[in-house]
Amino acid sequence: MERDVQFIGQSTAFLDAVERASRAASVRRPVLVIGERGTGKELIAQRLHHLSPRWGEPLITMNCAALPETLIEAELFGHEAGAFTGAVRARAGRFEEADRGTLFLDELGTLSMAAQERLLRVIEYGEIARIGASRPVQVDVRVVAATNADLPRMADEGRFRADLLDRLSFEVINLPPLRAREGDVYELADYYGRRMATELEWDTWPGFTGEAMAVLEAHDWPGNVRELRNVVERAVYRWANEHAPIAEIVFDPFENPWRQEGRVDSRSEVPPRPDGVRADPASSQPKPVPLPEAGAGPDAGPNAGLRASVEAYERGLLVDALDRHRWNQRRAAAAIGLSYDQLRHCMKKHRLSEGHKPSVP
C-alpha cells in the first residue's frame, strides 16, 4: 500500500499543487480538491490527513457516486433500527466513523440537494442526526471533498448549494492533468515500469526505446496517471525479452482487428469474393470494396475526389508493403518509414488485418 501513495513528478504545476496540500494539512478547515479522473485526488486527501494533527485518527473514504441517492444519507449519517425498511439494527454513518479524523468525500458533485443540506449543517455546527434518531450527535471531523465537476457553475444553475460551496472552498487545490505536467510522463513511466519489472522478477530494467517513449510522451492521456500506469504495466507484462528495451505500446486493450463496425448477424454474413466484391446481406446488390494496385497514384479512380484518391493511394502502399513482407508488421513498417504504432494505426484506419488479407493483383 505504501508504494501506491507516492507522489511521482517534477513539473512545476504538479509540485505547486502538492505544496499547497502540504501547507493546508495543518489547518482544520475543509479542503476542496479539483481534478480530472486519474489525477490523484485521493492521494492529495491522504497527504492532507497524514500531515495533519489528525494523522493517528481514522481516514474514512466515501465515493458519493457509488451509492444510489436513497442510501447516501444513511451511509453518511447512519440510521437507527427500524428507521426504514431493511434497517434491522442501528448503524453508525461515515461521519461517526471518522470522528476526530478526516472524511474524504469523492465525487462530491453527485450528492443530492437533501444530502448537501445535511452536510452543510455538519460542517457549520459539528453535529449529525442519524436517520430515525431524535437527538443529534456531536462529531469532530475534517472534510476533504473532491470532484471533477464545475461546482461554481452548478451553483449558478441551482444544482449545488452555494452556501455549501462557500464552506468547502476555504482552500481549493487544482490538480493539473498529466498532459500539462511537462517531463512527468518519463518519470512516471520509468517508475511504474521498474515496479512492474520487479513484480515479474526481472533481473534488470531495460527501459523503453526512444520511439516508445516518444509515443508515450505524445499521448494525450485522458485518463491521466491511472491510464499511464495501466499502459506502462501492460507494455512491460507483454514484453517477452527482459534484456531488450520495450518497444511496443498498446493504449487500447480492447482494440480488435476483427471488430465489425455494425452489428451483423453471423449467419447472414457473406465473406468477400476473390474479385474483391463484398455482397451486402441486406441487399441483393453487391457493394464493391476498392482494392487499388500497389503504387496506384492519385488518379486511382476515374471519378474519385482528392481525399478518396489519397486514401486509395495510402491503402495501396500499405497492402503492397504487407504483402511483400508476408504481413510481418514490423518489417513492413520499417520498409515504408513508419513506426510499428503508426503502421497499426493506418491498418486500423483502412480496416486491414492479417485475418482479412485482401487480394492484390
Same domain, 18 and 103: yes
Q: Which CATH number fits the domain that encloses residue 351?
A: 1.10.10
> Rounded to whole angstroms, how far apart are CA atoms 271 and 49?
61
pLDDT at 275: 45
pLDDT at 69 over 70: yes
Positive or negative: CA dihedral 13, 1, 225, 187: positive
Is-contact 107 63, C-beta < 8 A? Answer: yes
Mark whether 183 and 60 lie in a shared domain.
Answer: no
| Count: domains in the chain | 3
Ordered DSSP codes for 190-203: HHHHHHHHHHTT-S
- Residue 309 in any domain: the answer is yes
- Grid cell, residue 327, equals 504481413
Residue that is last in its domain, among 238, 259, 275: 238
C-alpha 122/C-alpha 351 separation (Å) is 57
148 plus 193 within the same structural domain: no
Average pLDDT of the chain to the nearest whole number: 84
Q: Give the CA count within 13 Å in the CB-facing half-sphere of 21.
A: 28
Nearest of 141, 123, 177, 144 to residue 46 by alpha carbon? 144
Residues 88 and 126 in one domain: yes
User: pTM of the full predicted structure?
Assistant: 0.68
pLDDT digit string (tens) for 267-325? Answer: 444 444 444 444 444 443 433 334 444 444 444 445 556 777 777 888 888 888 888 88
Residue 43 domain-assigned?
yes
CA distance 174 to 44: 10
Contact 87, 132 (CB under 8 A): yes
The pLDDT value given to residue 282: 42
Q: What is the pLDDT of residue 261?
A: 61
Whether residue 262 is contained in a domain is answered as no
Residue 288, strand partner residues: 277
Are 140 and 31 in a shared domain?
A: yes
Is the predicted pLDDT of residue 170 greater than 50, yes or no?
Answer: yes
Model confidence band, residue 216 (pLDDT cutoffs 50, 70, 90) = very high
The pLDDT of residue 81: 83
* Pair (40, 144) in one structural domain: yes
Element of type H or E holding 105: strand 102-106
Q: Which three cell numbers stand for residue 202?
A: 526481472
| More reliable by pLDDT, 224 or 320 | 224
| pLDDT at residue number 332 | 82
- Give per-residue pLDDT as tens, 104-139: 999 999 999 989 999 999 999 999 888 888 888 899
Q: Give residues with Cβ within 8 angstroms of 184, minimum separation 6.
A: 8, 9, 10, 11, 14, 178
Is 340's pLDDT higher than 90? Answer: no
Q: Which residue has the higher pLDDT, 354 or 233?
A: 233
172 and 191 together in one domain: no
Is residue 258 in a domain? no
Q: What is the span of the domain harbouring residue 29?
A: 2-176
202 and 156 in a single domain? The answer is no
Q: What is the pLDDT of residues 72-112, one digit of tens each?
A: 888 899 888 877 777 778 888 899 999 999 999 999 999 99
The sign of the torsion formed by the CA atoms of 91, 95, 100, 104 equals positive
On whether the CB atoms of residues 153 and 147 are closer than 8 A, the answer is no
- Is the same domain home to 44 and 89? yes
Please say which residue of 176, 206, 222 terminates a domain. Answer: 176
Q: Which amino acid is located at 29 in the chain?
A: R
pLDDT of residue 265: 47
C-alpha cell at 144: 476533504
CATH of residue 164: 3.40.50.300
Residue at which a domain ends, from 157, 176, 195: 176
Q: 193 in a domain, yes or no?
A: yes
| Amino acid 267: pLDDT | 44
